[in-house]
Homo-oligomer: A and B are copies of this chain.
Amino acid sequence: MGNDMVSKGRVTIREVAERAGVSTATASRALSGNHPVPAATRARVLRAARDLDYVANAHARALVGGGRKMAAVVVRQVTSPFYAQVAEGVEAEAADRGWLCVVGATGGDAQREMEFVQLMREEGARLVILVGGVVEDDAYRERVAHYAHALDSSGARLVLCGRPAPDPEIPALVVEFDNEAGARAVTAHLLSAGHRGIVFLGGLPGNTALDARVAGYRAALAEHGLPAEAAHVVDCGLGRAAGHRAMTELLKRTREFTAVFAGDDMVAAGALRAIADRGLSVPGDISVVGYNDIPLAEDFNPPLTTVRTPAEELGRAAVRIALRDPEHAAGAHHLLGTHIVVRDSVGAPPPGRAL
């Protein structure tokens, strides 16, 4: 084969053109194919490019061509099953459209989030997707307003997934789940199984996603005629460790409850472990429900009844919506539905303890 690899440095289009005996302009046209070029010439150029193993310099191309199609998705951490699924959805939808997808993890640090968005701006990303609930304070509002305007002024789009827009006028899209409805449904499920003492484990005051779930929980209790004092929210935050710690603590303090509504499935995992450590059984002694339906929720002990939030679809929807109506959608708000999936972690309250 006439396979003359160059030894060092990048092959430029000039070398390809030279080898094919044409100018760089013709080579560029033959390679990108957006301008008619006689078949014979094109073949010569393509051949030369292949022989030299030419790859276009994306930076030079972006400089003149207005930027590569690149989407960025930023999450708290990739190892959280929920975030991973959202990221996979974004990645898949982006790949389907020939877009490159960059994933960034912030570890929940606003500073790193800012740095990453800045980086994406420098890099010329045309779509930035921020995922996950957040505590909505003034700092947050200012930060996101800044992102939105900055990205908008360079023609990029911002999508907020599961977090609120600081102001409906801002150039950003919002797409999220109906957390309140999901929480209300699963709380109702617990109530109709006979439970009256239900504690919500995993509140995170100020966090929009959790607050909505707590609101749904309270609403369901009220709808069933329970007084406001029937609500018992433990603000332990999210994560398996937090759930384990809070549940252990709670069991030490009181038994005035027969069911636990965990803020998400990871909290539920911790709670299940704590309950088992205490020698109690689920759902015999205590019923437990979670939120999100992560892929392994059915492998918990017992399989977890939870609220399914189609995370991958959330990611796909984010890019689909952002790319659909370039102008129409600014400021739009999309709400995705959820549904409860029943497994084995909910039963009737133990006979002696029905309130």
Contact = CB atoms under 8 A, between A and B. Distances in A.
Interface of A: 5-10, 53, 55-63, 67-68, 77-79, 81, 84-85, 87-88, 91-92, 95, 100-105, 112, 118-119, 121-124, 149-150, 153-155, 240, 269, 272-273, 295-296, 298-302
Choose among A79, A119, A153, A240 the residue with the greatest number of B CB atoms under 10 Å from its CB. Answer: A79
Contacts of A153: 5-10, 53
Contact of A9 (B59, B154, B240): B154
B298 A301 contact: no
Contacts of A105: 88, 91-92, 95
A67 B5 CA distance: 22
26 contacts: A7-B153, A8-B155, A9-B153, A9-B154, A53-B153, A57-B122, A58-B59, A58-B122, A59-B60, A59-B63, A63-B63, A78-B84, A78-B91, A79-B81, A79-B85, A95-B105, A100-B119, A100-B123, A240-B299, A269-B296, A273-B299, A296-B299, A299-B300, A299-B301, A300-B300, A301-B302
Contacts of A8: 153, 155
Contacts of A85: 79
Nearest to A125: B58
A81 B78 contact: no
Contact of A301 (B57, B95, B104, B300): B300
B112 A95 contact: yes
A329 to B, nearest CB: 18
Nearest to A121: B55
A166 B339 CA distance: 48
B56 A122 contact: yes
Instruction: Indicate how many identical chains form the complex.
Output: 2
Contacts of A101: 103-104
B59 A67 contact: yes
B58 A124 contact: yes
A314 B190 CA distance: 43
A11 to B, nearest CB: 8
A104 B102 CA distance: 8
Given A61-B122, A300-B300, 10 more contacts: A10-B154, A58-B59, A59-B60, A59-B67, A78-B84, A79-B295, A87-B103, A100-B119, A102-B103, A299-B301
A155 B102 CA distance: 22
A273 B300 contact: no
A302 B104 CA distance: 34
Highest count of chain B CB atoms <10 Å: which of A56, A61, A62, A118: A62
A26 B100 CA distance: 35
Contact of A78 (B56, B60, B103, B240): B103
B77 A88 contact: yes
